[in-house]
Amino acid sequence: MSTDGRVLRGEQTRATVLAHAMGIASVEGLAGLSIGRLASELEVSKSGVFARFGSKEELQLATVAAAREIFVERVVRPALESPPGLDRLWRLCDGWLAYSRGRVFPGGCFFFATAAEYDARPGRVRDAVAAALSAWGALLERTAEDARQLGHLESTCDSRQLAFELDAMVSAANARSVLHDDDTAYDLAETAVRTRLRTLATDPTTLP
């Protein structure tokens, strides 16, 4: 039982550290993370934090992985509860806007912030951020293609192009909101996404 207690405390410490790390990274970037800083701000031992991550890079990688899990939980899984097709595509976009608008991370979209920081810096951290964003783009494209094949979108719809446009719309809302403290950007993006989908939908009345 003593061993189980130590394991539980260790898991709790790790979760607390990662939650704080994700908040910092969404505002200041992953470069702003350090084992010493997190230990100091959370008032835990530096050796305890080091034992759970080992290095700054491992801490950064764990933070990216934790943020990806939260993104999946808040955006992807709820959308996947809808059947394949146009409604699922809409829910992915709408969920992304709600995730950013609701400031799940204080700096807006975690991956928007960290991608700008690491897009030209090769290494494991960049690869992890890129993999998360690639997975999101692939999901949008696959969902758009499912909608096309199911007859929910016009047969001439280019799923890859549509996925790019939808991602650009929601990302622009995040950028404008964070930089200008302007939440109306989300309303504009929601209208833009809905309008774009309606132009391609075989039955526009199925959209909200």
Per domain, the residue ranges of the chain are 2-206
Is the separation of the CB atoms in 129 and 114 below 8 Å? Answer: yes
Tokens 């290095």 belong to: 55
Q: Which residue has the higher pLDDT, 8 or 166?
A: 166
Instruction: Give the pLDDT confidence score for residue 4 in this predicted structure.
Output: 65
Question: Cα(184)–Cα(8) distance, rounded to whole angstroms?
Answer: 43
Q: What is the mean pLDDT of residues 49-74?
A: 95
pTM: 0.92
pLDDT at 8 over 80: no
Is the separation of the CB atoms in 91 and 28 below 8 Å? Answer: no
Instruction: Give the pLDDT confidence score for residue 10 in this predicted structure.
Output: 66
- pLDDT, tens digit, 9 for 90 and up, residues 11-34: 888 999 999 999 999 999 999 999
Q: What is the mean pLDDT of residues 104-113?
A: 96
Identify the burial level of 68 via C-beta atoms within 10 angstroms of its C-beta, where 0-12 means exposed, 13-18 middle and 19 or more buried.
buried
The fold of 2-206 is Tetracycline Repressor; domain 2 (1.10.357)
Question: Cα(184)–Cα(78) distance, rounded to whole angstroms?
Answer: 24
**What phi and psi values does residue 121 have, to the nearest 5 degrees?**
-120, 100
Instruction: Give the pLDDT confidence score for residue 1 in this predicted structure.
Output: 47
Query: What is the average pLDDT score of the chain?
Result: 94
Question: Cα(177)–Cα(190) distance, rounded to whole angstroms?
Answer: 13
